[in-house]
């Protein structure tokens, strides 16, 4: 999410944070756009005074982040990720903020419905991929891959693996053993340049299948070996990835084609629209 599309063509300063893999947006820029205030700093001051809860958590919601100013110089300014920005918008009594508030209410309602009926969440994801132009066959594999991934991370959580860095390392180990390449390099190979591009959304059917095999094998090995902690689960990840890697190599020898491909789906939606208009 390199920009907030709801703001149309308005210019908002943004920066990608590698540490938590999230975009951060200039608070002043967004408040200025939604209020047209002549003194944005004073408006923010009064907004915080109106909303004690927001004020008490301001430092957490809006950390200082280095961004390039209008004069081209880098300065630390108040910024927030998507969640923080949406929280701030709730405190802005402006007609321009109403569409965001209505959208938040809708999303909240949908989320509550999905908690009551998890099948709704699955259906929503399917519809999203369908709207982007993915085939039904690809969507089925992607959905199954999501389930396999969730099962694996559930095992990691139960076995004392820490979310964040340790999850990333184990995922990289599985990918390296399965495909001979770690996810970051895999993305570069496919020409995915945006930090928030999802590698799996650009995988072919075969790439998804072998990704699933590597992760499902890792889950099975971790369970059977009762792997505990990061070190033991790293060994399980490497072993599980090797199971998928061997199967991939066998297929490549017999088919004469590499499983890994530079193919990506960056233009998928555009191509789908073009087909409909023929």
Last residue of a domain, one of 78, 101, 124: 101
Q: How many other CB atoms are there within 10 angstroms of residue 2's CB atom?
A: 11
Quick check: is 44 in a domain?
A: yes
Instruction: Please report, in tens digits, the pLDDT of each residue of the chain (278 residues total).
Output: 344 444 555 678 888 877 777 788 899 988 998 898 999 999 999 999 999 999 999 999 999 988 887 677 888 889 998 889 989 999 999 888 888 888 778 877 877 877 777 778 888 888 989 988 899 999 999 999 999 999 999 999 999 999 889 999 999 999 999 999 999 999 999 999 887 789 999 999 999 999 999 999 999 999 999 999 999 999 999 999 999 999 999 999 999 999 999 999 986 654 544 343 34
Quick check: is 112 in a domain?
A: no
Indicate whether 157 and 241 sit together in one domain. Answer: yes
Tell me the C-alpha distance between 251 and 259, whole Å. 8
257-267 CB burial, b ≥16 within 10 A, e <16: eebbeeebbee
Quick check: is 174 in a domain?
A: yes
Tell me the C-alpha distance between 184 and 172, whole Å. 9
Quick check: is 230 in a domain?
A: yes
Quick check: is 125 in a domain?
A: no
Indicate whether 137 and 234 sit together in one domain. Answer: yes
What is the token pair recorded at 152?
């694996």
Indicate whether 261 and 163 sit together in one domain. Answer: yes
Indicate whether 73 and 167 sit together in one domain. Answer: no
Quick check: is 85 in a domain?
A: yes
Quick check: is 109 in a domain?
A: no
For the chain, how many structural domains are there in total?
2
Quick check: is 108 in a domain?
A: no
Indicate whether 88 and 162 sit together in one domain. Answer: no
Indicate whether 19 and 78 sit together in one domain. Answer: yes
- Provide the domain limits for residue 159: 133-276
């Amino acid at each position: 999410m390199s920009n907030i599309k709801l703001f149309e063509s308005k210019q908002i300063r943004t920066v990608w944070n590698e540490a938590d893999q999230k975009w951060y947006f200039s608070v002043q820029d967004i408040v200025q756009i939604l209020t047209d205030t002549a003194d944005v700093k004073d408006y923010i001051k009064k907004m915080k005074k109106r909303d004690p809860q927001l004020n008490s958590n301001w430092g957490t919601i809006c950390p200082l982040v280095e961004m390039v100013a209008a004069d081209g110089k880098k300065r630390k300014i108040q910024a927030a990720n998507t969640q923080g920005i949406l929280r701030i918008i709730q405190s802005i009594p402006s007609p321009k903020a109403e569409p965001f508030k209505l959208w938040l209410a809708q999303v909240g309602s949908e989320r509550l419905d999905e908690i009551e009926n998890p099948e709704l969440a699955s259906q929503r994801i399917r519809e999203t991929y369908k709207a982007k132009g993915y085939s039904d066959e690809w969507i089925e594999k992607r959905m199954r891959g999501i389930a396999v991934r969730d099962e694996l991370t559930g095992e990691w959580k139960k076995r004392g693996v820490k979310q964040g860095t340790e999850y990333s390392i184990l995922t990289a180990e599985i990918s390296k053993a399965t495909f001979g390449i770690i996810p970051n390099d895999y993305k570069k190979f496919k020409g995915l340049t945006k930090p928030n591009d999802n590698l799996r959304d650009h995988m072919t059917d075969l790439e998804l299948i072998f990704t699933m095999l590597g992760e499902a094998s890792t889950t099975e090995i971790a369970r059977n070996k009762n792997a505990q902690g990061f070190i033991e689960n790293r060994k399980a990840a490497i072993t599980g990835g090797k199971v998928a890697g061997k199967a991939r190599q066998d297929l490549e020898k017999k088919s004469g084609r590499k499983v890994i491909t530079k193919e990506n789906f960056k233009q998928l939606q555009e191509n789908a629209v073009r087909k409909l208009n023929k």
